[in-house]
Structure 1
Amino acid sequence: MAKKKQTGGGTPATVTLDRAGVPYEIRAYEHDPRATSYGLEAAEALGVEPARVFKTLLVDTDKGLGVTIVPVDTTVDLKAAAAALGAKKAAMADPAAAERTTGYVVGGISPLGQKKALPTVLDDSAREHATILVSGGKRGLDIELSPEALLTLVRGGYAAIARRS
């Protein structure tokens, strides 16, 4: 996979990837402001199976905020996420707190280039794919990269944290 650089500075996510020299591909699409599921919108617009497109969700644990990354057609198993993050319990983080902490808007939160480094866990289903897609830092922009490269950059780990509805 060739590295595709952004013109005009890019997003904090692409700047992080460029600085690290990590290969990635930009996958942009026209975001529909009426979309109710940003991740499923991305999968459909990009023609990628939802199991390869991952959403970034912040959780609030008894040890502070944490980042969970799960396929867009699943939800976060909060009990499993808490355990993976070394906490006793977890709840979905307040959207305003998520935006403030990451520097991104909801629907465009990337696991890369966040304002504050947070403990991060990627659902272990990502291991089934050579590459996955995550938000590039704004709605309508995804980044395709290997799950291993992602985890190296965010200093995260794998865990079974996704639940099929």
Structure 2
Amino acid sequence: MVIIVMGVAGSGKTTVGEKLAAVLHWPFFDADVFHSPANIAKMSSGIPLTDEDRMPWLLAMGDAIKTCLAQHQKAVFACSALKAAYRNILHLSEPDVKLVYLQGDFDLLYRRLQARQNHFMKPEMLRSQLETLEEPPPQEAIYVNVGEPLEAIVHHITTTLGL
């Protein structure tokens, strides 16, 4: 099984993904490591990525997920996966790929981004991500309120997935 933890910047993808992976004793992969230096430079400058910019990044992540599935390796991935088309590249049609959608209100997400240090994603980019976001249908994802404590979030995910 592969679990993809998705959401906009500041939703806690890395924090939730790392904690979930630790609880399950599964490897964790953060989408940020799949970005090209050019993409990171663009986002660091406050310039939103285009679909063209995102494609090599999504394909690299899709390949990593495909490899996990082929090797029957369990893993947790953190990825914004903002659009349905992006999620299709990540093999969500596979029965062993589960999606967790982290939701939060603008003010909470913005405060979290302001508090982050040494990260390329600037708080000003949040509005662009929210405009790009296509929420997954409820039947395709486990919806999680990021205002809840981390332990409660992870418990909700593991319980819902029967893990």
Alignment TM-score, normalising by the size of structure 1: 0.31
In terms of fraction of residues, the more strand-rich structure is: 1
In terms of fraction of residues, the more helix-rich structure is: 2
